[in-house]
Amino acid sequence: MFENYLLYALLLICVAFFFYITFRKYIHTLFDPLILTFISIVFTTVVPFFLYFVGEINLELTLYFAFAHLAFWLAFLIPAKKEITFSRLLITDEKKVAYILYISLLLIYLILTIVSYSLLGIPLFKESRLEVYSGSGLGLFARILPFAQFYCIFYSFYFWENERKTFFSKGLIVLSFIIFLITGILSGSRASFFVFIFVYWGYSLFFLKDTKNIYKLYKFLIIGFVITLFSFVVKSNDYDILT
């Protein structure tokens, strides 16, 4: 790659331009989750074309990838024109139900995480964090935990900005954020902090309907940088930092 960096840069620009044309109507702000997806897809898509031009793969494989990719994005764009409609059903005593659900899911998240760490170990210290639940019979945990995390973070933003805050409620919100920050670090994912940005983006765009509010996220970018740096150092040094 370093011997053909100009070729790589040219392919990167061409692919980025193609996906910019594709995604520009669907990306609302700088903190839109699609931004991360966009960047990831661009760098991934460049690889097979670059390998073809440097003679590492044949034309048949390159065309297969190109047509498969094209078919996927055409399928993506066709249903994307449909407008999303949210349910208008009302829940009796909605605030109370939402609060009870918040407490319940926070406890479930904490209990399942502790059980998971006890039985399977901490993902940060695993050779591959993606295989933590593989063959363990606890795959259900991997389905429940993300939902509980998303709901609790979303509700914490709502509760902090819209409800009367008592000492207990402030403490509960701070505690929940601390829990998610710690488990984010222990998850071993260098992008774990993005969940705060993406949830706040959804909260601001769909609940508050205010995109200007999203730029408060710079605080989370600072926190996220620290989390990412810490997990990267631990991984890259084969855990020597802890011994």
What per-residue confidence (pLDDT) applies to 239?
A: 46
Mean pLDDT of the chain: 79
d(CA 155, CA 100): 11
What per-residue confidence (pLDDT) applies to 241?
A: 42
Max Cα-Cα span within the chain: 65
- Is residue 2 very low, low, confident or very high in pLDDT (cuts 50, 70, 90)? low
Percent of the chain with pLDDT over 90: 16
Is 118 within 8 Å of 112 (Cβ atoms)?
no
Q: Is the pLDDT of residue 101 over 90?
A: yes
Percent of the chain with pLDDT over 70: 76
Q: Read out DSSP for 216-234?
A: GGHHHHHHHHHHHHHHHHH
Residue with more model confidence, 102 or 23: 102
Tell me the domain boundaries of the chain. 2-81, 94-242
The whole-model pTM stands at 0.67
Average pLDDT score over residue span 163-174: 81
- Is residue 167 very low, low, confident or very high in pLDDT (cuts 50, 70, 90)? confident
Closest to 173 (Cα-Cα) out of 189, 151, 156 = 156
What per-residue confidence (pLDDT) applies to 242?
A: 43
Q: Is the pLDDT of residue 208 over 90?
A: no
Closest to 48 (Cα-Cα) out of 40, 39, 38, 58 = 58
- Is residue 79 very low, low, confident or very high in pLDDT (cuts 50, 70, 90)? low
Q: Tokens 């990267």 map to which residue?
A: 232
pLDDT tens per residue, range 11-69: 999 988 988 887 777 777 666 777 777 888 888 899 999 999 988 889 899 999 989 98
What per-residue confidence (pLDDT) applies to 240?
A: 46
Q: Is the pLDDT of residue 122 over 50?
A: yes
What per-residue confidence (pLDDT) applies to 107?
A: 95
What per-residue confidence (pLDDT) applies to 225?
A: 57
pLDDT tens per residue, range 136-145: 677 788 889 9
Average the pLDDT over each of 103-117, 122-136, 229-243 and give the range with the smallest value: 229-243
